[in-house]
Amino acid sequence: MKIPTILLALAAQSQAALRFGCSTLTIQRLDPLVEPGRAPSSHLHQIVGGNAFNATMEGDVGERGTCTTCTFSEDFSNYWTAVMFFKHPNGTYHRVPIMQNTALPNGINGGMTVYYTQQDFFNNGNQKITSFPPGFRMVVGNPGIQTAADAQKNPGYPGLKFVCLQNKGTRFPELAEFPTQPCVGGIMTVHHFPSCWDGKNADSADHQSHMFDTQVGAFQAARACPASHPVRMPQVAYETLWDTTQFNGLWPAGSPNPFVLSYSDEHGYGTHADYLFGWKGDSLQRAMDSNCMFQACENGNPLKSQGVAQMNACTVDTVVNEETDGWLTSMPGQNAMA
């Protein structure tokens, strides 16, 4: 029997995981993955990561970036999600500020927490964890899913969640949709990406089918990858903390959730996130092959890292110039949406 060599890629037990903060790089209507070349794209995103970010992005981003808003200074990847707005009873919208997560160095400007884990939070399950190739990109979730019925027909996104925060450390329960009561500590959105790769394609027409999701729950041991997608890659996840608290007093008792994601999603069923790989050289592979956990991977062990002031100083030019703050009569792009 001929056994595909890829299945023989067993590795010794290792325990490595990255968890790090990235400040906001920009909040703009740009989406080089789903709508390349369009400025503005259809809806507003928060983007973090490397400064090679632009309306169109091809090639090896890790070789082009010169700064990053993330802790690891060789990580020129870009990470982005939709942003959240509060819809006032008077019909106007206000963007919800983003706050720093716990367990990150103080002073990070907004941003998100990014994870790269192995088979689960603590180990690789004796499998080789293969880094992404240059040019790799993927999307998880689908903004077209707008109703509970649509969500039931599309159960393929077990890693997309909302958490009603009592404080910044709250992690459970994880909800499949927006909380329906005010949350005293804000709202966290969670996006876990699939981690089984087809081994061939850095992208696909829907930006999803080159990947396969076997996770069973947040940071738990994922099931084995299928023969169609046999290569286990790092499990990427984002946590974004939205400071909804200043709007809780404006939430009329008994009324439905007043928060809305920037593509006009009041339930959260269409929550989605985008990933564009941009680690320089073999830096991510070295981290996955090491035995470092979280902050212990910094300062050259094995990854180069930087402080908060340098992270916050990395910027990109504004390509789409429009108002995104203050009380707005509509969300950016909203009037063009179906």
Ligand X SMILES: *[C@@H]1O[C@H](CO)[C@@H](O)[C@H](O)[C@H]1NC(C)=O
* Interface residues toward ligand X, by CB under 6 A: 52, 54, 88, 90, 92, 316, 327
* CB 48 to ligand X: min, Å: 15
Q: Of 13 and 315, which has the nearer Cβ to ligand X?
A: 315
* CB 90 to ligand X: min, Å: 4
Q: Of 41 and 127, which has the nearer Cβ to ligand X?
A: 41
d(CA 335, CA 188): 27
d(CA 217, CA 21): 22
Q: Of 59 and 173, which has the nearer Cβ to ligand X?
A: 59
* CB 303 to ligand X: min, Å: 24
d(CA 87, CA 256): 11
Q: SS3 for 42?
A: coil
* CB 159 to ligand X: min, Å: 31
Yes or no: say if 125 and 119 are a contact pair by the CB < 8 Å rule. yes
* CB 64 to ligand X: min, Å: 7
* CB 56 to ligand X: min, Å: 7
Count of residues making up the chain: 338
The secondary structure of the chain in percent helix, strand, coil, rounded to multiples of 5, reads 10, 25, 65
Q: Of 52 and 164, which has the nearer Cβ to ligand X?
A: 52
| Torsion of the alpha carbons at 36, 215, 199 and 74, rounded to the nearest 10 | 60
* CB 280 to ligand X: min, Å: 16
Q: Of 78 and 123, which has the nearer Cβ to ligand X?
A: 78
* CB 53 to ligand X: min, Å: 7
Distances (CA, A) of 145 to 41, 45, 123, 142, 207: 19, 18, 33, 6, 16
Q: Of 54 and 189, which has the nearer Cβ to ligand X?
A: 54
Contacts of 295 (CB under 8 A, 6+ apart): none
Q: Of 38 and 88, which has the nearer Cβ to ligand X?
A: 88
Closest CA to 160 of 236, 84, 244, 256: 236
* CB 308 to ligand X: min, Å: 23
70 CB neighbour count, 10 Å cutoff: 30
Closest CA to 108 of 170, 173, 25: 25
d(CA 11, CA 338): 49
Q: Of 52 and 187, which has the nearer Cβ to ligand X?
A: 52
Q: Of 294 and 327, which has the nearer Cβ to ligand X?
A: 327
What letter would DSSP give residue 223? P
Contacts of 287 (CB under 8 A, 6+ apart): 16, 18, 116, 297, 302, 303
